Structure 1
Amino acid sequence: AAAVEHVVRTALALNCEISMRTIFHRKNYFYPDLPKGYQVSQYGNTPIGTNGYLDIEKADGSTKRIRITRVHLEEDTGKSIHSDGLGYSVMDYNRAGVPLMEIVTDFPPDVESAEEARLYAETLRNILLYLGASDGRMEQGSLRVEPNPSVRPVGSDTFGVKTELKNLNSFRAVQGGIEYEMTRQIAEIEAGRTVVQATYGWDAEKGVTVLQRVKESEQEYRYFPEPDLIPIEFTPDYIERMRETLPELALVKKNRFVSQYGLPQADALVLVNDKATADFYEDAVRAGGEPKAVSNWLLGEVTRLANAANVPVAQTRIIPPALAELTNVIADGTITGTIAKKVVEEMFITGELPSLIIERLGLKVAGTDVVAGIVAKVVAANPDVVAKIKGGNEKSIGFLKGQVMKETKGQARPDDIDRLLAEAIANG
């Protein structure tokens, strides 16, 4: 039941039509990954989802719609492991028989380049993560991308022979594998040879595709209805309940962050790339944080600390209300931006609120009288620098600012330092 729900929700998120009655089939073939000789799948025109699409966002900001033919449920097969030098392959059957969702793009294809294929795969993974339908770990095989590239002469309406690529365990491999295979197919055609429909594995170390097996045609699979599984019939109420569980997806959320919170497109895109991070951000804003400041600190210092500790941003000890409070104590002048970095580091370690850390460590902004005294001391100790400044070398004032910041341990407001230095130099 859970597997069916995941497929239905994914199909709805991909704008598919739902087949109200769907059946399973046996796909018959002999290969080591299926020792029983057949796979339970869905064949024909009654998969769970049909006629869907997803939109990818290209580097230039434009969007392109990729049509999806079908979303269906089948059983997974074993994993073939091909090792150089052994002279044979081994099989891992741990995943054999586990429910597997397959998503198939339309034909004629909308994906027209290796880059678009990578963008499609990245967008699809993001949707699956938002839905909770997959953890998206390509390196572990829980998300697999198996493109079928083909080439044709410029201006031709006739599609070439396609091949299937496997062992693509990263988005870089998806793009690299397709680019190599396109180059290989072109070389075959230009040499007067015929491209054979076959399955190729991607060798990431060598950067080449390796022939695994010649593809069977659909007729050779001898599909027939699965006798051990009854048809599944959905009700309109069930489909509506599934639709109501769908979250706001990344592309919609990104556009909303831009319009509602005034974030730059690039920042919004990074935030929504991970649902937990996007939720953390919005929780901090709802807790009273200034939207742009929350984004800057979350994508800056918090991300830096999280990456260094190898933990997800949303799973650190920093909680959304604490980040909101941080932006507010900076805005109201309680602490400077320099001190704020120290506060964030303490928040990361202890999980305390900024106000408690500021009080415990005595990090409030230094008073004007204190800063004025330090400025006078720095100016008196550096007469040569003051002379250069009075002589027109205004860049030298940067040295004096640095000395004041050092003496105040970053607890002086930059505006106060600028004003008091200017007064001290003018009156000196």
Structure 2
Amino acid sequence: MPTTHQLIRGYEVVIGLENHVQLSTQSKIFSGSSTAFGAEPNTQASPVDLALPGTLPVLNRAAVERAIRFGLAVGAKVAPLSIFARKNYFYPDLPKGYQISQFEIPVVQGGKVEFFVGDKKHVVNLTRAHLEEDAGKSLHEDYHGQSGIDLNRAGTPLLEIVSEPDMRSGAEAAEYAKTLHALVMWLGICDGNMQEGSFRCDVNVSVRKPGEPFGTRREIKNLNSFRFLVDAVNYEVNWQIDEIEDGRKIQQATVLYNPDTGETRAMRSKEDSADYRYFPDPDLPPLVIAPEWVERVKGEMPELPAVMAARFIEVDGLPEYDATMMTQSLATARYYEAAKAAGAVPKLVANWVMGEISKRLNASGGEIDAAPVGPELLAKLIARISDGTISNNAAKQVFEVLWTGEASDVDAVIDAKGLKQVSDTGAIEAILDEVLAANQKSVDEFRAGKDKAFNALVGQAMKATKGKANPALVNELLKKKLG
């Protein structure tokens, strides 16, 4: 069931996603042709990929194992028997005149994906995930007004993951897509390269008044950016509401999003399954997956994000939200564990990863495994906070220097900038005596029950030490002096 009911202009938005995940096999799903990206056009299209007379497809075992791995990761049923079908349609980049896919009986059935939007947990149920081959690609640039056809992608193995219409906003859909993207990379079944088409999003969008049946959906095709996904959904939702408010009916259609204009436009009327005339592929027998095969794949899988997050909660004492954030990607989890192994307090590592590090990576578009401040360096910085050498504010100054590459040693930066905290009890007591003597009004107000006066005295003490006094020690000693 959907987890949120956000209304836009009085309408409920209903969103479901279909994600095409290119599987990380060396060869295609039904032939031995290479799947490497960037080859000269039409140099990796074999007679099998083109369905030339006399050729027969042979299923790639590695593609099936990646589908099994995904099914296990999302808690789905891995079908003991599934069927390949021919999906018939006629485009210039589809050399066979049909696509080999799965229809009535897919290899993965059901499952769910959990994620956070802000600090709120969401669950999206999956309908299915099925194996299929990719089509070729139409090229429209540098052809002097004509189009070219590159069939290198034809036959590339895909896992199409179909969600239930459980999402209610573009932001929610984007977080679901990000979580799915991270999961397939975590499992090693996809390289996740969205610019090369390894992970593509088709978004089905409709609107309705609360409590009414689902509206007519329009499918936004081939979104290759999470930001574009949000923008495309927001535009499409408002367009559909405008149409309905103006008395027009929504027509089922496939649309494209133009990031330059920020608009969607209809590409063609949307087909229903009957239009594709599905029938079982006569050249491929049913796919039989024995229980032993599933168990072997299960034994070879990495620790899953949900299992790892549960371990971080139980062993490290992290809140559920923090643990989920630390397992958003395998790179993030490795960074967190490396910093922890270097002696840093787990909760403090999580705070820094979700705070300063995340902020800078979002600004630069970088990845955490290439962050200028590595896990061991962060652990040393956290250690200097924990042992009272520097304050949290001073630590942020040190972090800034480390991140920009001006220095690579925590202690050297602390010394160079004079950021070491004053933790000498005698010195702080002497300063507090001066502060109390100079601020008798605040002392009287505190003793009269005004707690804000205490904060004012702490502020005066920190000012007198130019922010270098250990705040915890200042608070402790000041409370004693005030009785």
The verdict on how the C-alpha distance between 1:119 and 1:344 changes in structure 2, with shifts beyond 3 A counting, is closer
Distance in structure 2 (CA, Å) of the matches to 1:120 and 1:238:
29
The verdict on how the C-alpha distance between 1:112 and 1:356 changes in structure 2, with shifts beyond 3 A counting, is closer
The verdict on how the C-alpha distance between 1:91 and 1:185 changes in structure 2, with shifts beyond 3 A counting, is farther
Distance in structure 2 (CA, Å) of the matches to 1:230 and 1:252:
36
- Range with bigger deviation, 160-169 or 56-65: 56-65
Please, which of 287, 290, 295 is the counterpart of residue 240 of structure 1? 295
* Map of 1:103 onto structure 2: 161
* Map of 2:64 onto structure 1: 4
Are 2:91 and 1:31 aligned? yes
- Range with bigger deviation, 166-175 or 253-262: 253-262
Are 2:180 and 1:124 aligned? yes
Match runs of 1:75-114 below 5 Å: 75-78=134-137, 93=151, 95-106=153-164, 109-112=165-168, 114=170
The verdict on how the C-alpha distance between 1:5 and 1:191 changes in structure 2, with shifts beyond 3 A counting, is same
SS at match of 2:333: helix
Q: Kindly indicate whether the alpha-carbon contact (under 8 Å) linking 2:388 and 2:423 is maintained by their aligned counterparts in 1.
A: no
Distance in structure 2 (CA, Å) of the matches to 1:294 and 1:190:
50
Query: 2:184 corresponds to which letter in structure 1?
Result: L
- Range with bigger deviation, 20-29 or 345-354: 345-354
Query: 1:281 corresponds to which letter in structure 2?
Result: Y
Q: Kindly indicate whether the alpha-carbon contact (under 8 Å) linking 1:67 and 1:110 is maintained by their aligned counterparts in 2.
A: no
SS at match of 1:100: strand
- Range with bigger deviation, 46-55 or 389-398: 389-398
* Map of 1:382 onto structure 2: none
- Range with bigger deviation, 357-366 or 24-33: 357-366
Identity of aligned residues (%): 36
**CA RMSD, aligned part only?**
4.6
Aligned-pair CA distance for 1:239: 0.9
Distance in structure 2 (CA, Å) of the matches to 1:363 and 1:145:
49
Aligned length: 409
Distance in structure 2 (CA, Å) of the matches to 1:396 and 1:369:
17
The verdict on how the C-alpha distance between 1:214 and 1:362 changes in structure 2, with shifts beyond 3 A counting, is closer
Match runs of 1:249-288 below 5 Å: 249-251=304-306, 253-254=308-309, 256-258=311-313, 260-264=315-319, 266-288=321-343
- 1:133-178 alpha-carbon deviations (Å, 9 max, x no partner): 3344445432222122344565444x44433211433334334434
Query: 2:188 corresponds to which letter in structure 1?
Result: G
Aligned-pair CA distance for 1:18: 1.6
More helix by share: 1
- 1:84-104 alpha-carbon deviations (Å, 9 max, x no partner): xx9876666553432221112
Distance in structure 2 (CA, Å) of the matches to 1:51 and 1:421:
61
Answer 1 or 2: higher relative contact order, Cα 8 Å, separation at least 6.
2
Distance in structure 1 (CA, Å) of the matches to 2:397 and 2:238:
52
The verdict on how the C-alpha distance between 1:345 and 1:398 changes in structure 2, with shifts beyond 3 A counting, is same
TM-score by length of 1: 0.74
TM-score by length of 2: 0.66
Distance in structure 2 (CA, Å) of the matches to 1:50 and 1:7:
11
The verdict on how the C-alpha distance between 1:39 and 1:360 changes in structure 2, with shifts beyond 3 A counting, is farther
Distance in structure 2 (CA, Å) of the matches to 1:131 and 1:287:
26
Please, which of 89, 111, 114 is the counterpart of residue 52 of structure 1? 111
Aligned-pair CA distance for 1:180: 3.8
The verdict on how the C-alpha distance between 1:199 and 1:167 changes in structure 2, with shifts beyond 3 A counting, is same
Q: Kindly indicate whether the alpha-carbon contact (under 8 Å) linking 1:374 and 1:404 is maintained by their aligned counterparts in 2.
A: no
Match runs of 1:21-420 below 5 Å: 21-34=81-94, 36-57=95-116, 61-78=120-137, 93=151, 95-106=153-164, 109-112=165-168, 114-151=170-207, 154-157=210-213, 159-188=214-243, 193-226=248-281, 231-251=286-306, 253-254=308-309, 256-258=311-313, 260-264=315-319, 266-303=321-358, 311-316=366-371, 318-337=373-392, 340-341=395-396, 344=399, 349=405, 354=410, 368=424, 389=439, 395=456, 398=459, 401-402=462-463, 404-405=465-466, 410=468, 413-414=470-471
Distance in structure 1 (CA, Å) of the matches to 2:341 and 2:244:
59
SS at match of 2:267: strand
- 1:9-44 alpha-carbon deviations (Å, 9 max, x no partner): 11221222222344433322211332x143443233
The verdict on how the C-alpha distance between 1:190 and 1:256 changes in structure 2, with shifts beyond 3 A counting, is same
Q: Kindly indicate whether the alpha-carbon contact (under 8 Å) linking 2:458 and 2:475 is maintained by their aligned counterparts in 1.
A: no
